[in-house]
Amino acid sequence: KGVTALTLASRNGRVEAIRRLLKGGANVNAGFQGTIDCDEETTTNVQPTPSADGPEGISVGGGTEEKKKQMEAYGCFPITQAALGGHAGALRVLLEAGASADARDSTGAPAICIAAERGHAGALETLLDFGRADLKKRSYRKTRMNALTLAAFEGDVRIVKLLVDRGMDVDIACKLGKTALIYASTCESQQRDEPNKEKGTTDTAGEGEGEEDPKVLPSRGSPAAFEEVARILLDAGAKVNHADHDGHTALISAAKRGLEGFVRLLLESGGKEGVNLETKFFGETALIVASLNGHIGVARLLLEAGGNPNVRLKRQTHHPNMRPLIEMTIEKGHVEIALLLLEGGAEVSGGPDQFAKDGSGARCLIASLNSEHWELARKLLEKGANPNAEDVWSGPALALACEKEEVTVVRALVDAGANVQVLVPSDELDENTEKEEEGEGKGDGKESGDKKEGVNRFVARACRTGAVEILKVLIEAGADVKGKDKSGAGALTVAVMNDKAECVRLLLEAGAETEGREKRRGWTLLMLGSQRGQADSVRALLKGGADVNATDKGGKTALLWAAEKGHQEAAGVLLEGGAAVDAVDKTGCTAMNLSTRNGHAEVVKTLLDAGGDFEKADKKGVKPLLAACVWGYGEIVKPLLERGADPNAADAEGKSALMGAAECGHAEVLDRLVEGGSEVDAVDSV
């Protein structure tokens, strides 16, 4: 809309065509489409009528007494099209013919902004040479930026230098309050493809360009270019501490993007007042944004310049108070920066709050342990973090270190004064050691040193995982190894149930009792180990003096439990330790009875080798051979017959082994019984 032949010639830089059209009477300011609000106000009352004199400032409304917003014409003008293409020769001809440099294109951008944004230094210089371009003019797109802010945003050194040399105010801000320096600090650190050189006219060679060699300047849009732009602006007196409407300064912007060179330049060129390191962008200083984004180089520069490592901020979290920077840095996993903050003087021994004992230092220590940053945890302790740190989710720091099996941190915590005597009811035990009452013995994760009964929390965790070195550290520090919960279970119970034989040995050497019993059933530790087939733990307990023939409330010994559960190795260890092979429980069963009825052939062989009585019946009169036949355990029937078991043995009702096998259909067992001499026509006594 509004395009003329002169406009088309200007768009393509046809200098000779422009001259001929102008000579023929073409309107140099043709192309007016409408009006647009500008920044100034005027009392002039002129109707918006385009004229050959150009689209000058006009106003609307009636009366000269009241100030009205000034309007400016916009449209597809020859001069804006020539500026868009960077045709300096065409611009010169148009300006000589009286073209208005204040004309705007359809987006509201004046020629000076168009040339600056596109990087056309020759075209911009031509506009400035004729004195027609107003340096204060703004584009009505991109937040009303002026030529300098547009060039700074694009990282164009030549354009910025040209505008500054021509006296442009470097602190003019856009609608958002951003200056050229702030826009330069938004550098994305990406090399752009646009070359930093001008287009010449297409039909007149070398007319009016005459620019300096672009090779000596950084490429437009490169990181080096943005730094050079900032240097030019700072040398021209740009306010380094200027903040936009959100409190965003050039330093904060550069720090957020990790522009180490840019930040160094700002810090070195802060002027007499120096760079304000405490200015905040939505509550965050430059050090905060650099640290939380993981830019360690920038964080180091800011700390060296005097940045406050103890700055606090509030984020949308469950924590109601202002949180220290180091705490949030640890949460984000920026360990190196957290260490840097510690070296810079960050305090980690702050006051208490409702979420962690000893406040921020406690949370920092807990966070470092949760994320397994061991070096950081040790540094925090060296700086005074509370070794008894504890929160409601993770528990004490020492418990975390024990669970994660990091002995160096455990030692550091103990050396720093961590309380090793935290007692809690044991929650590490097997379901077979359930409490007498529902809820008894369940740890609540809270310190309970005032309880009369309880297991040492840290020792129990070390025993559960088999962390021998950690257990040694705890024992050396005086941790209690004798404590038990209300069910009678203790740390030694945990070690046995998890078959941590070395832990069992250490606990016994430290004075743990081997004869403790589970109160509900009367199980000893030796029985617990035997039930689970923990042969190594059973051996360690026996060496520690455990009573191998102790019985529970049902009359069972450890050997009977091993036999019933089918743990041949544990049974062998018990027999070597002096277990009575023919001990009887309250149902009259021996280890042989229990192993045969449950089909544990290997255990039966071990018992036979140990001289176990294979003819002893339980209280119901059932002998081992009869039980094996009824259940069809041919692999047990064979060794029993070979050892001399009576093939005609019967129960209290006169039912023989052959009858039991026949009734249940165990053909293989029947064959072996017949071969062994069993009477096939025997009758029962019922």
In the chain, domain spans: 420-505
Q: Decide: helix, strand or coil at residue 323.
A: strand
Residue 274's contacts (CB-CB under 8 Å, 6 or more residues apart) are none
The highest-confidence range among 70-79, 142-151, 369-378, 409-418, by mean pLDDT, is 409-418
The highest-confidence range among 32-36, 212-216, 254-258, 352-356, by mean pLDDT, is 254-258
CA atoms within 13 A of residue 284's CA, in its CB half-sphere: 19
Q: What is the dihedral of CA 671, 673, 679, 682, to 10 degrees?
A: -90
Give the mean pLDDT of the chain: 80
- 8 A C-beta contact, residue 241 and residue 249: yes
User: Is the confidence at residue 611, as pLDDT, over 90?
Assistant: yes
DSSP state for residue 284 in the 8-state scheme: B
> CA-to-CA distance for 97 and 119, rounded, in angstroms?
25
Strands 58-59 and 395-396: unpaired
User: Is the confidence at residue 452, as pLDDT, over 70?
Assistant: no
- 8 A C-beta contact, residue 32 and residue 103: no
**pLDDT band per the 50, 70, 90 thresholds, residue 132:** low
Among the listed residues 362, 356, 275, the one whose alpha carbon sits nearest the alpha carbon of residue 326: 362
Domain 420-505 in CATH 1.25.40.20? The answer is yes
* Higher pLDDT among residues 385 and 599, named by residue: 599
> CA-to-CA distance for 28 and 473, rounded, in angstroms?
92
* Higher pLDDT among residues 283 and 363, named by residue: 363
Lowest mean pLDDT among 325-329, 411-415, 524-528: 325-329
Among the listed residues 350, 338, 347, the one whose alpha carbon sits nearest the alpha carbon of residue 377: 338
Task: State the sign of the Cα–Cα–Cα–Cα dihedral 525, 530, 532, 533.
Answer: positive
* Higher pLDDT among residues 76 and 160, named by residue: 160
| pLDDT (average), residues 514-530 | 85
Among the listed residues 380, 360, 364, 357, the one whose alpha carbon sits nearest the alpha carbon of residue 447: 357
The pair of structure tokens assigned to 642 is 């070979």
The pair of structure tokens assigned to 310 is 């103890």
- 8 A C-beta contact, residue 91 and residue 123: yes
Task: State the sign of the Cα–Cα–Cα–Cα dihedral 492, 494, 498, 500.
Answer: negative
User: Is the confidence at residue 416, as pLDDT, over 70?
Assistant: yes
Per residue, the 3-state secondary structure of 110-161, as one string, reads EHHHHHHHHCCHHHHHHHHHCCCCCCCCECCCHHHCEHHHHHHHHCCHHHHH
User: Is the confidence at residue 622, as pLDDT, over 60?
Assistant: yes
Q: Where are the alpha helices (DSSP H) in 477-567?
A: 491-497, 501-509, 525-531, 535-543, 558-565
- 8 A C-beta contact, residue 260 and residue 298: yes
Q: Write out the H or E segment, with its range, that includes residue 423.
A: strand 423-424
pTM over 0.85: no
Residue 551's contacts (CB-CB under 8 Å, 6 or more residues apart) are 522, 557, 583, 585
* Higher pLDDT among residues 132 and 449, named by residue: 132
Among the listed residues 194, 166, 165, 160, the one whose alpha carbon sits nearest the alpha carbon of residue 179: 160
> CA-to-CA distance for 294 and 374, rounded, in angstroms?
19
Q: Decide: helix, strand or coil at residue 35.
A: strand
> CA-to-CA distance for 142 and 251, rounded, in angstroms?
22
- 8 A C-beta contact, residue 249 and residue 242: yes
Residue 100's contacts (CB-CB under 8 Å, 6 or more residues apart) are 29, 53, 54, 55, 56, 77, 79, 132
- 8 A C-beta contact, residue 260 and residue 223: no
User: Is the confidence at residue 433, as pLDDT, over 50?
Assistant: no
Task: State the sign of the Cα–Cα–Cα–Cα dihedral 363, 368, 374, 380.
Answer: negative
Percent of the chain with pLDDT over 90: 39
Q: Using one digit for the tens of pLDDT, what is the confidence trace for 623-672?
A: 999 899 988 988 999 999 989 988 888 877 778 888 888 888 888 888 88
| pLDDT (average), residues 454-471 | 91
> CA-to-CA distance for 397 and 417, rounded, in angstroms?
12
User: Is the confidence at residue 161, as pLDDT, over 70?
Assistant: yes
Q: What is the dihedral of CA 333, 337, 338, 341, to 10 degrees?
A: -160
> CA-to-CA distance for 280 and 302, rounded, in angstroms?
14
* Higher pLDDT among residues 454 and 530, named by residue: 530
Q: Write out the H or E segment, with its range, that includes residue 74.
A: strand 68-75
The pair of structure tokens assigned to 193 is 């493809």
Check residue 624 and give its pLDDT.
93
Percent of the chain with pLDDT over 70: 78
> CA-to-CA distance for 624 and 631, rounded, in angstroms?
11
Q: Where are the alpha helices (DSSP H) in 65-110?
A: 78-85, 88-96
Residue 344's contacts (CB-CB under 8 Å, 6 or more residues apart) are 303, 307, 309
Q: Burial level of 506, CB count in 10 A (0-12/13-18/19+)?
A: buried
Lowest mean pLDDT among 355-369, 393-407, 456-470, 499-513: 355-369
> CA-to-CA distance for 485 and 409, rounded, in angstroms?
28
* Higher pLDDT among residues 347 and 283, named by residue: 347
